[in-house]
Structure 1
Amino acid sequence: VYFLNGQGDLLWSFESGDDVWSARDVAITQDGSRVMVGSMLGRVFLLDAEGHVLWSHYAGFLFGAGAMTPDGSRIVVGESGGPANTIRFLDGHGDRLWSFETGGWVVAVAVTPDGSRVAAGSFDGKVYLLTGEGDLLWSFQTGDTVRAVAITADGSRVLAGSEDRNVYLLDGGN
């Protein structure tokens, strides 16, 4: 992982020990003080602004996706494969607040800025919407794997992209 300034100059780099596949595997706080990195083999790291590891958390067999609130107080992680396919919600210290098991690999996640809503997409073709306490509000079945999700700041809308070649705009129920 490479951390660049606004001019494209390298400030620091971080070696996770295994692959970091895509942009869905990294997130940064609004003020740039914290960086989340998810590695292919299931480890999540929180780094400070200089690239030092503040903590790491083993999220499961494979890291599917990650997202973080703008202040870094909440991190949502999608776990894929192995014994469970799970959405995990962590606090800013890496402690697990809750987990929610899905029917397939979790490959897309999003969280509202205040951490009150979590959206996820899975290989089971479903979009999931949960509260910040881990309670399922609803799930929506698409025709194939859900590879991308986004959520509005107030949680009122969830956008999901599926391999069924459709993009879904769903009511968040607020």
Structure 2
Amino acid sequence: MKLAGLKSIENAHDDSVWAAAWVPATEARPALLMTGSLDETVRFWKSDDLVLERTNTGHCLGVVSVAAHPSGVIAASASIDSLVRVFDVDTNATIASLEAPPSEVWQMRFDAKGTTLAVAGGGSASIKLWDTATWRLTATLSIPRPEVSKPSDKSGSKKFVLSVAWSPDGKRLACGSMDGTISVFDVARGKFLHHLAGHYMPVRSLVFSPNDSRKLFSASDDAHVHIYDVEGKSLIGAMSGHASWVLSVDASPDGEAIATGSSDKTVRLWDLRMRAALQTMSNHTDQVWGVAFRPGVRAAGRLASVSDDKSISLYDYS
């Protein structure tokens, strides 16, 4: 497995690019790459050549997260303006505006069936679940303190939720917090199950293996990438190599590799069998906030990365 650089677009946005997600193909069009930036816009790019399709506006502050519905028809963007905007991908028509109090949204993910949008609730130390048929709030999953809470930790700020991930079967939700803990929930019962320990700094990104609902990958400011068995509550692997914070992680569609983006300005490709970095890509000149594999495509795989340097890079994954 390897990455080969295909194309980089400098000044893809007018400010730092903090978020990227692939919008699945529909009958009317191929897959698109969606990016969100501190310039307050969401942009859509053709998936093989990074030609700009359109620019969507609607936020009055920077966009920190984007998520695509599995149908490819709708998407969501979250902004520092405390608003999650749900919109039609092809027309930019607003479908719903989900209000979140200040700093209450950091990351969002649709489940595999597209019935629920999970929103990492920032300072509220919770995950909010929204029904995608009615856009009503159906549940708030609150994160309890770890059993071994440090006596000095009197504030709730350490529980600020940064990241969220769905298991492929939709039964589990994992979220990463500022204090390094990962919390796992049973979605159907709305019940907290357990914490996964091992990180001691913010967990900024999480992704489950596409092939295994037990296996979870985490990226942390401690410069490590962890592999957990979610059901067994155990750390089964730790990988290091980045020189600084690991800001993003995504799993390849074949489940054999993960990619990470870091504040050391690099993108790394990791072989999960060897549990080692195979490649380091140095296309960016500033920290890499997002990496995203194009889902579902076994041949002609694609990986995108976005950065504080305002650029987008596209790689062939084979």
Fold conserved (TM > 0.5)? yes
Q: Equivalent pairs: percent with the same residue?
A: 23
Q: Secondary structure at the match of 1:77?
A: strand
Establish whether residue 61 from structure 1 lines up as the match of residue 201 from structure 2. Answer: yes
Q: Secondary structure at the match of 2:261?
A: strand
2:292 is matched by which residue type in structure 1? A
Aligned position for 1:163: 308
Matches within 5 A, 1:17-166: 17=145, 18-21=159-162, 25-49=163-187, 50-58=189-197, 59-70=199-210, 71-80=212-221, 84-93=222-231, 94-101=233-240, 102-133=242-273, 134-141=275-282, 142-153=284-295, 154=298, 156-166=301-311
2:316 is matched by which residue type in structure 1? D
Q: TM-score, normalised by structure 2?
A: 0.49
Distance 1:97 1:114, change over 3 A: farther
Say whether the 8 Å CA contact 2:141–2:192 is kept in structure 1. Answer: no
Distance 1:97 1:171, change over 3 A: farther
Distance 1:114 1:73, change over 3 A: farther
2:285 is matched by which residue type in structure 1? G
Aligned position for 1:12: 139
Q: Secondary structure at the match of 2:310?
A: coil
- Kindly tell me the number of residue pairs found equivalent between the two proteins: 167
Distance 1:104 1:152, change over 3 A: same
Q: CA RMSD in A?
A: 2.0
Structure 2 CA distance for aligned equivalents of residues 8 and 31 of structure 1: 22
Q: Measure how far apart 1:12 and its partner are.
A: 2.2
Q: Secondary structure at the match of 1:75?
A: strand
Structure 1 gap segments, 5+ residues each? none
1:13 is matched by which residue type in structure 2? T
Structure 2 CA distance for aligned equivalents of residues 11 and 88 of structure 1: 31
Q: Secondary structure at the match of 2:161?
A: coil
Deviation string, structure 1 residues 32-61 (Cα, Å, up to 9, x no partner):
211111111111112112221222112222
Q: Match for 1:2 among 115, 120, 128?
A: 128
Structure 2 CA distance for aligned equivalents of residues 31 and 87 of structure 1: 23
Structure 2 CA distance for aligned equivalents of residues 136 and 66 of structure 1: 18
1:107 is matched by which residue type in structure 2? L
Distance 1:38 1:86, change over 3 A: same
Structure 2 CA distance for aligned equivalents of residues 41 and 144 of structure 1: 25
Deviation string, structure 1 residues 94-135 (Cα, Å, up to 9, x no partner):
422221221110111111245311111000000011012322
Structure 1 CA distance for aligned equivalents of residues 272 and 238 of structure 2: 11
Distance 1:114 1:48, change over 3 A: farther
Structure 1 CA distance for aligned equivalents of residues 204 and 137 of structure 2: 27
Structure 1 CA distance for aligned equivalents of residues 316 and 226 of structure 2: 23
Q: Which runs of 4+ in 1 moved over 4 A?
A: none
